[in-house]
Every structure is written in C-alpha cells, then in structure tokens.
Amino acid sequence: MPDTPKDDLCHVTILGTGSYLPEKVLTNADLEKMVETSDDWITSRTGIKERRIAAPGEATSDLGTKAALKAMEEADIGAEEIDLIICATISPDTFFPSTACYIQKNLGAKNAVCFDISAACAGFLYALQVARHFLNTGNRKTALIIGAEKLSVMVNWEDRNTCVLFGDGAGAAIVQSREKSDRKIIASVMGSDGNQTAILSVPGGGSACPITPANANEKLNTISMQGREVFKHAVNAMRDASMQALERAGLTAADVAMVIPHQANARIIEAITDRLGIPAERTFVNLHKYGNTSAAAVAIALDEANKSGAIKPGDIVLLVAFGAGLTWASTIIRW
Ligand code: ACO
C-alpha cells in the first residue's frame, strides 16, 4: 500500500546522517576457522567479505548513540532541539526500557519522546515514515531516527547457514519539517505479511517460548532462517515496493540517480536492480564490508553515500528494504 500523506502539510527533509561501526573486524578467513565454510562460498553466494563485531561491553544503544552524534553534528542540531527519537532494532539493549530511551539519556535529549520500532531489516525505513507522519501533524519538528543492531549476540556461531551473514553497526538521520525544502521525502510505501513469520525469526526468548533450563542448549534465542524462501520474498517485495513508490512519485527508474537497497546479499540486490533496469553504477553497495546489519544497513549505506558524494543535491534517491515479519518499505527522496 502506498503510504504517502495525500497532502503534505510541510516538507520533511533529512538534515544530516551518521553511522558507527565497531572496531573489531571478522573476516571470511576468520569464519573458516569457526565453521565449515570458505571465503569462496561466502563471497560467491552473498558478496560479503567481512563484518564488524561489537565489543562485549558495547550495547546497541552505544552504537546508536555514536551514529546519532555524527548525524547531529552534520545537521548542526543540539540534543535539546530533538523532540522525537525512534530507534529501529531487533537487538535492543533490554526488552524494556526501549533502546531509544537509553540513547535519549546518553545524548541528554530531554525534550524528546522516545520509542523503538521492531520491523527487522525494514526498521529504519519504517522509522523514517513514522517520523514523517509525526512531523506532518505539526506537533513535532525535529526527529532523530536510528537503525542500530548488535546481531552478534543473537547469531548461532555454530550454524554456517546464518553466522556468515550478519554484523553489528548503527546509522542515524536527523529529520526535520520545513515549510519548504528542495531536499525532501517525496513518496513512501510500506507493507507487511504476517503469514510468513516462520521463515525468518528468533523463535525463543520471548513470551511464546521462554528460555528455560530444559531448552537452554537448543539455541532457540538465535536467528533461524529459511534462506531460499527469504531470498525469493525479498526480491519480489523490494522490486514491487520500489515500483509502487516510483509510481506514487510520478517518476520512473530512469529518474533514479542512486538506489540504496537493504544490504543483505549482492545477488538479491542484483536481482532487484536488474528487474528495475537500474545499472550497477547507480546502485550503492557496502555489504562486502559489513554484512547484513538489519535495521542499521540502509541507514549506514545512506550515510556512506552522503559523506562520499555518491549522492548529490538534487539527486533522486530510492531507499528500499525488506526483513523478517515479513516487512518491507521504500522511500524516494530528492537529495
Ligand atoms: N558455507 C558453505 N556452505 C554452506 C554455507 C556456508 N556458510 N551455508 C550453507 N551452505 C550449504 C548448504 O548446506 C547447502 O548445502 P547442500 O546443498 O549440501 O544442502 C548449500 O550450501 C546451498 O545452500 P542454499 O541455502 O541453497 O544456498 P543459497 O544459494 O540459497 O544461499 C543464502 C544461502 C546466502 C542464505 C541465501 O539464501 C540468502 O541470502 N537468503 C536471504 C537472506 C536475507 O536476505 N535475509 C534478509 C533478511 S534478514 C533479517 O530480516 C534479520
């Protein structure tokens, strides 16, 4: 379903972006020593060469805070000017309070309303759209949205099907309402399909299946995935969401200067951009460095595209993501 307010009361603009990646690098060669895999298999099936792993004492909110500070610096926004913080994450510091509240405390953003969004890899784009709606009501002016993950704590490091895919990191953006702005969100699409919860989940550790002494060795609190099924749904959902958002914006794929897709698998990205007719040079990819950082992935990629000059003022930028739920979203921005 298109999810663009019919008549925007204001223009919603991204004033600044930031990202943070933990220092520790885990390469494919390192993984060869941990499970039966090879650099060749991982590279050819996914495109991933290495990923980052947060330090034991480093929580998701710590990663998110560091990314947020960089976004605030670029936007030239002080902590007390922020009146909304939304953190998208599937690896929160605690079940409650929300990771957004921990980040609020770290920043001293005492005027903000704070909450988390759980939409897996689509989380950052869900957060962007929720912030856009808040800003459109006129009640809030400046939002900090964050995608932050410490997935390394929910990976089964003995399962070669999943452990090679994921990494830790965070990205953030300062989003503000303006009466008029050339740089603005033009159109968005969001969707979910709760019939497919089983193909990608962390089955244990919640109320449906608590971890008990009896099941503690079954690693139910780690990521479980039917890779091929997820792959198929990811390609279809991201292609369709991209086309719907373009249609909603009155644009075509030829107008897109850069597509910034969810960074899960190079083959998924190729399949989508092939179907859209967008060539590799107009597709932003950084998954070889970080693997799949779920809600953080599009946020980190957006920041790197911004800071490296891969996207320039006036460019039409297409963001698109897909994750567990299933959830998907796309957003078109004039940069
Ligand atoms: N090293 C070596 N061999 C492996 C590895 C590994 N790390 N992992 C699996 N294999 C083997 C399998 O056991 C299988 O062997 P078999 O044929 O003897 O049974 C073989 O490789 C092929 O396995 P497939 O699962 O068919 O491989 P596929 O080409 O589908 O690639 C992958 C697997 C990379 C997981 C792919 O399906 C994928 O990327 N899926 C989508 C993941 C994704 O996008 N997730 C996004 C959302 S994540 C979120 O929301 C948190």
CA–CA gap between residue 175 and residue 321 (Å, rounded): 19
CATH architecture of 185-334: 3-Layer(aba) Sandwich (3.40)
Q: Which of 193, 230, 285 to mutate to test the pocket of ligand 1 (most atoms within 8 A of CB)?
A: 230
Nearest atom in ligand 1 to the alpha carbon of residue 228 is 37
Tens of pLDDT, residues 183-206: 999 999 999 999 999 999 999 999
Please check the confidence at residue 1 and state whether its pLDDT lies above 70: no
Q: Which of 32, 38, 45 to mutate to test the pocket of ligand 1 (most atoms within 8 A of CB)?
A: 45
What's residue 51's pLDDT? Answer: 98
Domain pair 11-181 / 185-334, same fold: yes
Nearest atom in ligand 1 to the alpha carbon of residue 322 is 47
What's residue 271's pLDDT? Answer: 96
Residues 210-232 as b/e (b if ≥16 CB within 10 A, e otherwise) read eeeeeeeeebbbbbbbeeeebbe
Determine the average pLDDT of the residues in 291-299: 98
Q: What angle do CA 243, 301, 200 make, to 5 degrees?
A: 70
Ligand 1 pocket: which residues have CB below 6 Å? 37, 41-42, 45-46, 120-121, 160-161, 164, 200, 227-228, 230-231, 234, 264-265, 268, 292, 294, 323-324
Measuring from atom 33 of ligand 1, which residue has the nearest CA? 227
Task: Name the CATH topology of 11-181.
Answer: Peroxisomal Thiolase; Chain A, domain 1 (3.40.47)
Q: Alpha helices, DSSP H only, in the chain?
A: 28-32, 39-46, 60-75, 99-107, 123-137, 160-163, 227-249, 266-276, 287-290, 297-308
Determine the average pLDDT of the residues in 87-94: 98
How far does residue 333's CA lie from ligand 1's centre (Å)? 33
Q: What is the amino acid identity at position 149?
A: E
Tens of pLDDT, residues 50-85: 999 999 999 999 999 999 999 999 999 999 999 999
What's residue 3's pLDDT? Answer: 54
Report whether the peptide linkage leading into residue 97 is cis, meaning its omega lies within 30 degrees of zero.
yes
CA–CA gap between residue 145 and residue 173 (Å, rounded): 5
Please check the confidence at residue 137 and state whether its pLDDT lies above 60: yes
Nearest atom in ligand 1 to the alpha carbon of residue 31 is 7
Determine the average pLDDT of the residues in 89-108: 98
Please check the confidence at residue 17 and state whether its pLDDT lies above 80: yes
Q: Would you please indicate which residues are annotated as catalytic (active-site) residues? A: 121, 262, 292
How far does residue 203's CA lie from ligand 1's centre (Å)? 19
- Asked if 3 and 186 count as a contact pair (C-beta separation under 8 A), the reply is no
Tens of pLDDT, residues 207-260: 999 999 999 999 999 999 999 999 999 999 999 999 999 999 999 999 999 999
Mean pLDDT, the chain, integer: 95
What's residue 223's pLDDT? Answer: 97
Specify which residues 84 forms β-bridges with: 113, 143
In terms of Cβ atoms closer than 10 Å to its own Cβ (0-12, 13-18, 19+), residue 293 is buried
Count of CA atoms in the C-beta half-sphere (13 A) of 195:
3
The residues spanned by each domain of the chain are: 11-181, 185-334
pTM: 0.96
Tens of pLDDT, residues 109-124: 999 999 999 999 999 9
Nearest atom in ligand 1 to the alpha carbon of residue 163 is 7
User: Can you tell me whether residue 188 is helix, strand or coil?
Assistant: strand
What's residue 8's pLDDT? Answer: 62
Measuring from atom 7 of ligand 1, which residue has the nearest CA? 160
CA–CA gap between residue 61 and residue 59 (Å, rounded): 5
What's residue 4's pLDDT? Answer: 52
CA–CA gap between residue 151 and residue 297 (Å, rounded): 12
